[in-house]
Amino acid sequence: MRVDTTDREDLPVIYAASPGGPDDIRGAAQRAWGDLEAVLQPKGRKAFGFWLPEAGEYRACFSLQEGDDPEVLGLKQSVIPGGRYRRARLKGEDLYGKIGPTFGELAKDAPIDDSRPWLEFYRREDEVDVLVPIKHENGG
């Protein structure tokens, strides 16, 4: 697995959330994506997912576009914070089964920034970037 670092900009998103604990992240993710895609199509949008431990929920997100009205759609709006991330790109079969172990590998010996979420960036149906937020060398 190739690991690199990337700097991301803040990204306004529209999202659906589903409750779930550490033992049900996959189920919460399936419910959140189902709720989001039931009212909004992904075409032309960036797609991200992440679990918020402090809220006990998984968020399925699409990039916010002009004219989106989250309230009318029954969705919420937020910003995925930018910053530096360790990244691994997964391709091929069983992507979803590889996400959890990949997060573990990326977190090893990494200066984790606990103020930002660990992300799944769904590039295509068969390609996912797994991103772990890290602190800059200078601590910020």
Q: Tell me the CATH number of domain 3-133, given options 3.40.1360.10, 3.40.50.1970, 3.20.80.10, 3.40.50.300.
A: 3.20.80.10
Q: Where are the domains of the chain?
A: 3-133
Q: Tell me what the mean pLDDT of segment 42-68 comes to.
A: 92
Ramachandran bin of 139, using left for φ above 0, alpha for ψ from -120 to 50, beta for the remaining angles: left
Residue 119 clears pLDDT 60, i.e. is over it: yes
C-alpha to C-alpha distance for 9 and 66, rounded to whole angstroms: 18
Whether the model clears a pTM of 0.85, i.e. scores above it, the answer is yes
Query: What's the rounded Cα separation, in Å, for the pair 26 and 32?
Result: 10
pLDDT for res 137: 66
